Amino acid sequence: MTTKRWLLVVAAGGAVCLLGMGMLALVWAFGFFGKSSSLSLYKLEQTTSSHAGYLRTTLTYGNDVYVNDFEEAALRSAVSEPKPAVGRMGIGVDNVCAIPGQPVTAYLAVDMGSEMPAYEVFRHARQPAFDWRKATFHAMTFNWPSSARSGGTTTDAALLDEVVRLLRDGTPVSLSAMSLADSSKLGAINMVSDQLPGLQFCPVVSSDASGTIYLAESLTMDFKASPPQANARWIPASPTLLQWLK
């Protein structure tokens, strides 16, 4: 049972997505099928990723294989509930969806939630992975329920470049693993690029007891720990970025 993260309005439900993906894998493994549907039936499989702390989840229909792994961990659909549905995974709901702005030959969104929608992005195996290091972003929104700045949006090119620079070149620091019970300390910066229509690149944001704010590309989950814990390559936010985040 597992998967990867979750980033808040996109970050605090992380565990839900991770647990949800693992539960769906079990549902498939035990051959449970719900009501019939005319949509394509996709097969879900999970294996250990070559990236430590991640799982490689694949969706397969015929010769089409879609992947959710380290490279997709920070990607989110720009809309909360993508439509239309184009497939299902044998659990009685049409939960494999097209992403507005993206061809189905490139990306799909799959609802991994149980009681609430929780869409994860899957990339077609023949589609090159999105390289945020080389992308040009034109807007970003800060999402963090515990912050007064939550919902703030900027198009400031210098700030956008600063986020990319920090994630790419910043020096990581060692922080204690975070319990999933502390997920309220997590937020996200949702970044928009014309090179990724319909999707957003969403690095994670966190803070410590002193109020220092950190960024990370994405989270890894350790479900062997009790309780389960989240880890990341945390990089302290620069003074310039802090002025916008606080």
Identify the bridge partners of residue 231 per DSSP, sorted by sequence position: 220
Side-chain half-sphere CA neighbours of 193 within 13 A: 20
Judge whether residue 127 has pLDDT over 60.
yes
User: How confident is the model over 56-81, as a mean pLDDT?
Assistant: 96
User: How confident is the model over 104-132, as a mean pLDDT?
Assistant: 92
User: How confident is the model over 137-157, as a mean pLDDT?
Assistant: 86
Asked whether residue 42 falls in the same domain as residue 119, the answer is yes
Q: Which of 29-38, 144-153, 179-188, 219-228 has the lowest mean pLDDT?
A: 29-38
Asked whether residue 115 falls in the same domain as residue 208, the answer is no
Asked whether residue 159 falls in the same domain as residue 106, the answer is no
Say if residue 228 is preceded by a cis peptide, omega within 30 of 0: no
**Over the stretch 47-57, which tens digit does the pLDDT of each residue have?**
989 998 899 99
**Over the stretch 72-115, which tens digit does the pLDDT of each residue have?**
999 999 999 999 999 998 755 679 999 999 999 999 999 987 77
Asked whether residue 209 falls in the same domain as residue 112, the answer is no
Asked whether residue 155 falls in the same domain as residue 57, the answer is no
**Over the stretch 21-56, which tens digit does the pLDDT of each residue have?**
444 444 443 333 444 468 889 999 999 899 988 999
User: How confident is the model over 232-240, as a mean pLDDT?
Assistant: 95
Asked whether residue 99 falls in the same domain as residue 164, the answer is no
Number of domains in the chain: 2
Asked whether residue 19 falls in the same domain as residue 111, the answer is yes
User: How confident is the model over 121-144, as a mean pLDDT?
Assistant: 96
| 6 part of a folded domain | no
**Over the stretch 150-166, which tens digit does the pLDDT of each residue have?**
778 999 999 999 999 99
Predicted confidence at residue 246, as pLDDT, reads: 76
Asked whether residue 96 falls in the same domain as residue 143, the answer is no
Side-chain half-sphere CA neighbours of 13 within 13 A: 16
Predicted confidence at residue 146, as pLDDT, reads: 65
Q: Structural domain of residue 229, as residue ranges?
A: 137-245
Judge whether residue 194 has pLDDT over 70.
yes
CB 5 within 8 A of CB 17: yes
Asked whether residue 93 falls in the same domain as residue 32, the answer is yes
| 1 part of a folded domain | no
